[in-house]
Amino acid sequence: MVETLQDNVRWLIGAVARGLGARHGEGVADVLDRLAQQDLDTARFAAPEPRALPVLAHLPHCLGEAMLLDADLAAAIASVEESLQWRQSACYSDALLGEGFTANYGWAEIIGPNGFFPGDDFLLGLLMLGPERHYRDHFHPAPELYWPLTTASHWSVDSGPFVEKQQGATIWHAPMAMHATITRDMPLLAVWSWTRDTATPARLRVT
């Protein structure tokens, strides 16, 4: 049987749900509840225009690491990688975030207006950061979960100290909480979700 893109997207969504279902961190149940409420009927499926970004140069390395955490999920991501629409927040620039940031940053929606199913005020996607990046303090009304599939990323909430999170940890950001991410020598690939209040984009803290 030839697998269609929709089959692979459903495999990916299922792999995320199974992986998160085995975790118990703050916000995980919220994401799974909201995911279960989404209309994933075949009639709602529409593939976005695929778009690549320079940060994808790090995807093979990240998928290699992710294989060691959750081989099924890593394979499911690989099965749709040619079909994802990688995007960047419109107001982000190297001037604001450091030389080379925009060549080392991107996100793609799986569920959301730029994903494969539109979602109901709910976003599920992937985020990538290249090595040696500082995605500095930003905030948004949406509650947010990150699930790093790669090793050793560093996270700050409410402008507190950066804490190293291991591969497979989950990180929850309450609405409007200031948060930031640092990578060192390894790139980051993370599953990410906004569970509600998705209409307002992230804003960088004014410095």
Nearer to Fe ion, 109 or 144 (CB): 144
In the complex, minimum distance from the CB of residue 147 to Fe ion, in angstroms, rounded to a whole number: 13
Nearer to Fe ion, 72 or 141 (CB): 141
Q: Which amino acid is at 23?
A: R
In the complex, minimum distance from the CB of residue 139 to Fe ion, in angstroms, rounded to a whole number: 7
Nearer to Fe ion, 47 or 169 (CB): 169
Which span sits near Fe ion by CB under 5 A: 17-25, 78-86, 96-104, 141-149? 141-149
Neighbouring-strand partners of residue 128: 106, 189
In the complex, minimum distance from the CB of residue 202 to Fe ion, in angstroms, rounded to a whole number: 5
Asked if 195 and 141 touch (Cβ cutoff 8 Å), the reply is no
Question: How many other CB atoms sit within 10 Å of the CB of residue 111?
Answer: 25
Nearer to Fe ion, 117 or 135 (CB): 135
Two tokens, residue 109 = 């929606």
Binding to Fe ion, residues 99-138 (CB under 5 A): none
In the complex, minimum distance from the CB of residue 182 to Fe ion, in angstroms, rounded to a whole number: 14
Question: What gap in Å lies between CA 156 and CA 137, rounded to an integer?
Answer: 8
> Does 144 sit near Fe ion (CB under 5 A)?
yes
Alpha-carbon torsion angle 190, 72, 114, 130, nearest 10: 30
Tell me the DSSP string of 5-28.
Answer: HHHHHHHHHHHHHHHHHT---TTH
In the complex, minimum distance from the CB of residue 144 to Fe ion, in angstroms, rounded to a whole number: 5
Nearer to Fe ion, 18 or 205 (CB): 205
Alpha-carbon torsion angle 189, 190, 194, 200, nearest 10: -30
In the complex, minimum distance from the CB of residue 148 to Fe ion, in angstroms, rounded to a whole number: 13
- Residue whose Cβ sits closest to Fe ion: 144
Nearer to Fe ion, 137 or 144 (CB): 144
Question: What gap in Å lies between CA 97 and CA 111, rounded to an integer?
Answer: 27
Q: What is the DSSP letter of 105?
A: E
Inter-CA distances, 78 with 128, 180, 198, Å: 14, 27, 26
Count of residues of this chain found to bind Fe ion when the rule CB under 5 A is applied: 1
| Per-residue binding letters, 19-48, with Fe ion (x by CB under 5 A) | ------------------------------
Residues that bind Fe ion (CB under 5 A): 144
